[in-house]
Amino acid sequence: MAIGILTSGGDAPGLNAVIRALVFSGTQTHGLEFLGIRDGWKGLVEGDVAPLVRHDVMGISKQGGTILGTSRTNPFEFGGVERVQEVMSSSGMDALIAIGGEGTLAAAKRLSDAGIPVVGVPKTVDNDLDATDYTFGFDTAVQIATEAMDRLRTTGDSHRRCMVAEVMGRYVGWIALHSGVAAGAHAILIPERKTSMDQICEWVTKAKDRGRAPLVCVAEGFLLDTMTDVHSARGLDAFGRPRLGGIGEVLAPIIEERTGIETRATTLGHIQRGGTPTAFDRVLATRLGWGALKMVLAKKWGYMVALRGTEIVDVPFESALGSLKTVPDARYEEVMELFG
């Protein structure tokens, strides 16, 4: 049996560990063959497919990004089911493993509903997929954001400035919540919770009055209570979603003007998705790869792997899609006690 593997959507540290686990165990233990699909769904509809062998995956777990490349392409805009069937048949591909976030898994579900043998592996640094407790890439992003804020604190302390650190998180504030707590931020602002400028300035002033250089951690998708749409000055992505980034730069001058504290903003952006994955992400990604392999061997099409507690489980695509895993009010409120 020959299995096609694609990675699609924004990259996440750990993608290569999934690919390695699949190819290594699939070829060595189960006698499967693999075909690497270049640049996500784009490569599948274009027939950009090549054999993937053990040699190709040696030592790649510690490597960031994806050796297969990725893109934000919707296969249904480029021939859909018919085109996918054509390419699978001409390249001798019997089944498909799609590694990606919500958009990728939604496309995989549509293909599966149409009879294409496909299983999924969830991926997102934002950690916003409800069906799985954690996605790989999230731990690495939190680690990078925490280290960055530790650095911002020493320069902020030296100049007695307020530092605003903007982290990723389009719809959910998990990266902001975890890295903000780890770095000891004096305010954490997340997409789930609109907040007023008065409240933010109160936290900043309180920290300053205690002799601290205030640190504000804000998720890219955060909205002030006066905003109806996310801040976006960079147009739309391939799925028509606003490109985010820059809310920290919006907040900084207002904080400075209202509190009188000199303020600087730093947007961490794609640094959070780059570089070497943490050990946790490598292990999680490897286990998810093995889980996907088991589903392929059992011909359990239309399912994706997920982490529940410490167990790797299978969940149908439909239960994995639809609702986002947002930060619960109670989780945010316990953290709010640390603000100011």
Say whether residue 77 binds ligand F6P (CB under 6 A). no
Least Å distance, CB 56 to ligand F6P, is 25
Say whether residue 168 binds ligand F6P (CB under 6 A). yes
Say whether residue 244 binds ligand F6P (CB under 6 A). yes
User: Residue 51: how many CB atoms within 10 A of its CB?
Assistant: 12
β partners of residue 37: 49
Q: How far apart are CA 261 and CA 30, in angstroms?
A: 62
Per DSSP, the three-state class of 76 is helix
**Complex with ligand F6P: residue 135 or 259, whichever CB lies closer:** 135
Say whether residue 284 binds ligand F6P (CB under 6 A). no
Given the residues 126, 128, 139, 281, select the one marked as catalytic.
Answer: 126
Closest CA to 7 of 70, 63, 50, 62: 70
Applying CB under 6 A, the span of 15-23, 165-173, 258-266, 287-295 interacting with ligand F6P comes to 165-173
The single residue among 40, 121, 126, 293 that binds ligand F6P, judged by CB under 6 A, is 126
**Positions in 84-113 near ligand F6P (CB under 6 A):** 101
Least Å distance, CB 66 to ligand F6P, is 13
How far CA 289 is from CA of 72, 99, 119, in Å, comes to: 22, 9, 11
User: Residue 24: how many CB atoms within 10 A of its CB?
Assistant: 19
Say whether residue 217 binds ligand F6P (CB under 6 A). no
Is 126 noted as a catalytic residue in this protein? yes
Q: How far apart are CA 290 and CA 30, in angstroms?
A: 12
Q: Are 96 and 116 in contact (CB under 8 A)?
A: yes
Which chain residues interact with ligand F6P by CB under 6 A?
A: 10, 72, 101, 124-126, 168-170, 220, 237, 243-244, 273
Which active-site residues does the annotation give? 126
